[in-house]
Amino acid sequence: RSKVTIKSLNRMYKHGEPISMMTAQDYPSGLMVDRSGVDMCLVGDSLAMVTLGYDSTNPLTVDEMLHHCRAVARGCKSSFLVVDLPYGSYESGPEDAVRTSLRFMKEGHCEAVKLEGGKEMAETIRRITSVGIPVVAHIGLTPQRQSALGGFRVQGKTSKQAQLLIEDAMAVQDAGAFMMVLEAMPEEVAQVITKQLSIPTIGIGAGVHCSGQVLVYNDAMGIFDRFVPKFTKQYANLNEIMTNALKEFHLDVKSKQFPAKQHTYPIDPAQLAKFYQ
Ligand code: KIV
Ligand code: NA
């Protein structure tokens, strides 16, 4: 299939064709997302929780993220590849943010970076885009700020909050973001934001009126079931399938059902006779 570029994404947006985005965290998930025809692949920092078992996305380091980003990039050849800047690697100033973004472009082989925040990140987004790195913004529920938000909570539920979200959306667009993720907000609010913007919005828990949709791979595939957000649609139950397969292997070993003849290597009978002598 042909390579998805910012140009083709903009074409989809112009024609009102919804954009699909899925996260990935390693080589096989990157490969499968790519093969399935999904437009964009995000190495989301949610991998801190669903793949690495951290309690939040905050402990994830740049080096850890680079390790995953490179693995995904080896599998993902046609989908447009975006990576999340980890918590603590971009907030202290545009200088830091540019340095981290360059590292991900150069060593992570991604095509754009994503960062959380609204107005307060405008200057940073301006600086990153000024050196030619495409930026995806992320507003609404911003998991890296869960401590300040008081947990993973829906945003924009009051008219005042909703107004602030619109201001954030306009600010990051004006700063040069080419796309933004809208996470966990009433669909009417996401609809108004999407209408007012001239760049695509990608929703997660933000209703059907966004310009596209994103889900976390492990949630959508039913791999991670410790906490499943309301906005997740589970397209498969790999957890159950894989746990059953592992149980079967375990029992096969105990009962010597495995390995069978077809899993073993033959030896020439003449050689065997000599060997036994
Ligand atoms: O980290 C992540 O997976 C994300 C998506 C939910 C947008 O940021
Ligand atoms: Na993220």
Q: Whose CA is nearest to atom 5 of ligand 1?
A: 44
Helices (H) and strands (E) in the chain, counts: 12, 8
**CA-nearest residue, atom 8 of ligand 1:** 44
**Residue 183 annotated among the catalytic residues of the structure:** yes
Nearest CA to ligand 1 atom 1: 44
The pLDDT confidence band at residue 228, using thresholds 50, 70 and 90, is confident
Residue range 133-140: mean pLDDT, rounded = 98
How many Å apart are CA 25 and CA 68, to the nearest integer?
6
Query: Binning pLDDT at 50, 70 and 90, where does residue 227 land?
Result: confident
Confidence band, pLDDT 50/70/90 cuts, at residue 214: very high
Q: So what's the pLDDT on residue 224?
A: 75
* DSSP-derived 3-state class of residue 232: coil
Which one from 17, 183, 188, 248 is the annotated catalytic residue? 183
- 136 and 84 Cβ atoms separated by less than 8 Å: no
Q: Which amino acid is at 216?
A: V
Using DSSP, state whether 247 is helix, strand or coil: helix
Q: How many CB atoms sit inside 10 A of residue 231's CB?
A: 18
Q: Is the ipTM of this complex over 0.95?
A: yes
Using CB distances shorter than 6 Å, the residues near ligand 1 are 23, 42, 44-46, 84, 138, 181, 204, 214, 216
Say whether pTM exceeds 0.90: yes
